[in-house]
Amino acid sequence: MPDSQKRLGPLFWICLGFIGLVVFGAIFANVLPLPNPDAQNYAAVNAGPSLHHLLGTDDLGRDLLSRIVFGSRVSLVVGFGGIAIGLAIGGTLGLVAGYRSGALDTVLNAGSFVILAFPPLLAIIVIVAFWGRSLPKLTLIIGIASIPSMFRVIRATTMSYANRDFVVAARALGASNRRIIFRELLPNVAPAAISFALIGVAIIVVLEGSLAFLGLSVALPTPSWGNIIYEGASNNNLQTNPFIALWPALAMFLLLTSLNLVGDRLRSYFDVREGGL
């Protein structure tokens, strides 16, 4: 494993802890002692943080903490699910194309350029507008949109290893192409892929926020971080109760920072330093 002198550092564990907390909340939101996120309470509209409502309530008197916890489900499903799709398809194609090069690589590479030439947000808006915006559809669309960039990153990383002598040696030993890709190349490509995927999740979480502002995230009143911020920024809420937008924005900011830092630290932790002194 990486040498003993390398450390992930306490900040890494704090950030990983925060990501874990968000994921835990999203999974167990139903079981946790949280009020119904859609329950409106006109007796406590725009309440500040209190024991009853830890983060206060919004302009319809809904509990903000509860909405943020439930809303994280959308952000996380879209983020991790979308990247999983991108990684599964784009990553696999990238591995194969980077290893084989030749005609297949040329075709896939050209294809990825064509797709990347479309502004992704515009493409997503058009598709979502025509096809609908349920959570699975949103995830699938964003996942497909992330395929070309995953493909390019994995392909480039694979190529930097594919011409090394250990790959030639494996071929000379009679290893099949599949074996070379999975046993020799994948372990070397994986750290970069994981790090890039975590940053990809962060990008998608922001993307969901942007879509919400265009009214194209999951349908209201289902809470998502984007939706909550959008509601917090409309109807003069920013003046009357800035907390509605502030809390989900803060949650998003912390999650993005954590994902980026964890991805970055993991990459340098698994980076093999070649050569001696």
Partner 1 sequence: MSPPDSPASDEALLEVKDLVVDYRTRHEIIRAVSGVSFSISRGETLGLVGESGCGKSTTGRSVTLVQRPTSGSVVFAGTELTTLAPSRLRQERTKMQMVFQDPISSLNPRRRILDIVAEPLNIWQIGSPEDRLEKAAQMLEAVGMDPGESGHRRPQEFSGGQCQRISIARALILRPLLLVCDEPVSALDVSVQAQILNLLHDLKHEYSLTMLFIAHDLAVVKNASDRVAVMYLGRICEVAPSELLYEEPQHPYSAALLASIPDPDPRSLRDGAPLTGDLPSPADPPSGCRFRTRCPHAQPLCEQVEPPLEEIAPGHLVACHFPEATRHA
Partner 2 sequence: MRRADPLRFAPVEDMADPLLSVEDLRTHFRTPAGVLRAVDGVSFSLDRGKTLGIVGESGSGKTVLSRSVMGLLSQSSVDRSGRVLFAGHDLTAMGPRELRQVWGTQVSMIFQDPMTALNPVVRIGRQITESLRIRAGLDRAAARQTAVALLASVGIPSPERRLRSYPHELSGGMRQRVMIAIALSCGPKLVLADEPTTGLDVTIQAQILDLLSSEQRERSMAMVLVTHDLGVVAGRTDHIAVMYAGRIVESAPTAVVFRDTKMPYTEALIRSIPKLAAPSHTRLLAIEGRPPSLLDPPEGCAFAPRCPYADDRCHREAPPLREASPGHLYACWNPVGTPAAARAFEANRQAGLPAAVAYARSGVAP
**Site for partner 2, rule CB under 8 A:** 5, 276-277
Nearest CA among 241, 262, 230 for reference residue 55: 241
Per rule CB under 8 A, is residue 42 in the interface with partner 1? no
Q: Which does 173 bind (CB under 5 to 8 A by kind): partner 1, partner 2, none?
A: partner 1
- Alpha carbon distance 69, 65 (integer Å): 6
Kindly state the smallest distance separating residue 1's Cβ from partner 2, in Å: 17
Name which of 221 and 271 has its Cβ closer to partner 2. 271
Kindly state the smallest distance separating residue 198's Cβ from partner 1, in Å: 20
- Quick note: the x/- pattern for partner 1 over 149-168, rule CB under 8 A, is ---------------xxx-x
Q: Which helix (H) or strand (E) holds 231?
A: helix 225-233
In order of 44, 51, 53, 151, the CA distances from 47 in angstroms are: 6, 11, 8, 47
Name which of 5 and 236 has its Cβ closer to partner 2. 5
Measured at the alpha carbon of residue 271, what is the angle toward residues 265 and 274, in degrees to the nearest 5?
A: 150
Amino acid at position 204, single letter: I
Q: Which helix (H) or strand (E) holds 72?
A: helix 64-76
Measured at the alpha carbon of residue 133, what is the angle toward residues 31 and 45, in degrees to the nearest 5?
A: 55
Q: Which does 187 bind (CB under 5 to 8 A by kind): partner 1, partner 2, none?
A: partner 1
Name which of 119 and 275 has its Cβ closer to partner 2. 275
Q: Which does 172 bind (CB under 5 to 8 A by kind): partner 1, partner 2, none?
A: partner 1
In order of 53, 148, 229, the CA distances from 61 in angstroms are: 10, 43, 15
Amino acid at position 99, single letter: Y
Q: Residues 181 to 240: which contact partner 1 by CB under 8 A?
A: 183-184, 187-188
- Alpha carbon distance 219, 113 (integer Å): 32
Tokens for 145?
């949109």
Contact 175, 161 (CB under 8 A): no
Q: Which does 103 bind (CB under 5 to 8 A by kind): partner 1, partner 2, none?
A: none
State the CB neighbour count (10 A cutoff) for residue 184. Answer: 19
Q: Which residue has the tokens 């090394």?
A: 164
Kindly state the smallest distance separating residue 5's Cβ from partner 2, in Å: 5
Q: Residues 165 to 184: which contact partner 1 by CB under 8 A?
A: 165-166, 168-176, 179, 183-184
Tell me the number of residues near partner 1 by CB under 8 A.
24
Name which of 4 and 30 has its Cβ closer to partner 2. 4
Kindly state the smallest distance separating residue 275's Cβ from partner 2, in Å: 10
Name which of 52 and 164 has its Cβ closer to partner 1. 164
Per rule CB under 8 A, is residue 102 in the interface with partner 1? no
- Alpha carbon distance 238, 248 (integer Å): 13
Q: Which residue has the tokens 């992930």?
A: 8
Per rule CB under 8 A, is residue 272 in the interface with partner 1? yes
Q: Which does 273 bind (CB under 5 to 8 A by kind): partner 2, partner 1, none?
A: partner 1
Binding site for partner 1 (CB under 8 A): 1, 3, 164-166, 168-176, 179, 183-184, 187-188, 272-276
